[in-house]
Structure 1
C-alpha cells in the first residue's frame, strides 16, 4: 500500500514539475495579474539573465521525469530538491499564500529522499 501511495504522489509531483519546466520554454500558462510587486521584479530579473529560466526549466523537466520512474526516483528527488527549496523560500519571504502547497511539495520530496536513504549512503561514506 505504501508503495502505491508513493507511486501516485511521485507521479503527480513529477508531472507538476514537468509542466512547470515546459512552461518555461513554451509560456502556455498565463502569468496571474495579481502577483505581488516583489514577485514581478524577481521574475523580470530572472528573465534578464537569459540562461537562468531555461536552466531551471530543464532541471524541472529532468527532475520530474526522474521522479516518476521508480528506478531513478532517488536521483530525481535530489535533482529537484534545490527547486523545491527555492519555491519554499519564495513563499516564505515574498508570497505566503502559496506556503501550504510549498510545504506539501517539500514533504513529498523529503519523504522520497527518506525512503531512498540507503541509496545515498555510499556518497557520504
Structure 2
C-alpha cells in the first residue's frame, strides 16, 4: 500500500471517528435537555418564566395546555422517557420519533407565539435533524411504501 493510500485511509477513518463522537455528544446532550425538562414538568424544580416578559399569545397557549389537565404531563412524560433513551443510547430511533412532534411544537411556538426563545428552538431542531440523519438507515424500513 502506498503512503498516499494509507494517508487517505487514515483521514477517512479520522473523519468517521469525529462524526461518530459528534453524534454521541449530540445524542447525550439532547437527551439530557429533554430528560431535565421532562422531569421539570413533574417536579417543577426550575423557575417558570415570568409571564410579564412573555408575549400574551405564548402565555395564553401555556395556560391552555395546563388547563387541559393532561397535556403538560403527557408532553413531560414523552420528553423524560425519550431523553433517558437518548442518554442511554437505547431505542434511539424510537426516542427521535417520539420527540419529533414535540420538537416541531417547540419550533412553531417560538416562530408564532414567543420569538424570544428562537435560538434554543433552532438548536433543538438542528439536533433532532442531525440525529435523524445519523440514524437514517434505521428509519428506512418505516418510510417504505407497503
- Give the TM-score normalised by structure 2: 0.80
Q: Which residue of 1 aligns with 2:100?
A: 81
Which structure 2 residues correspond to residues 6-17 of structure 1 after superposition, within 5 A?
6-17=23-34
- Cα deviations by residue, 1:57-93 (Å, 9 ceiling, x for unpaired): 0000111112223342222111111111000000100
- The match for 2:59 is 40
How does 1:100-115 map onto structure 2 within 5 Å? Answer: 100-115=119-134
| 4+ runs deviating over 3 angstroms | none
Contact 1:59 1:80 in 2 (8 A): yes
Do residues 24 (structure 1) and 10 (structure 2) align? no
Q: CA deviation at 1:124?
A: 2.5
- Please, which runs of 5 or more residues in structure 1 have no aligned partner? none
Work out whether residues 7 and 68 of structure 1, in 8 Å CA contact, stay in contact via their aligned partners in 2. no
Indicate the residue corresponding to 1:116 in structure 2.
Answer: 135
Q: Aligned partners of 2:30 and 2:112: how far apart in 1?
A: 23
Query: Which ranges in structure 2 are unaligned for 5 or more consecutive residues?
Result: 1-17
User: Which entry has the higher C-alpha Rg, 1 or 2?
Assistant: 2
Cα-Cα RMSD: 1.3
Match of 1:49 in 2: 68
| Residues 34 and 82 in structure 2, CA contact (< 8 A), matched pair in contact too | yes
CA distance in 1, matches of 2:134, 2:59: 37
Distance in 2 (alpha carbons) for counterparts of 1:116 and 1:60 = 19
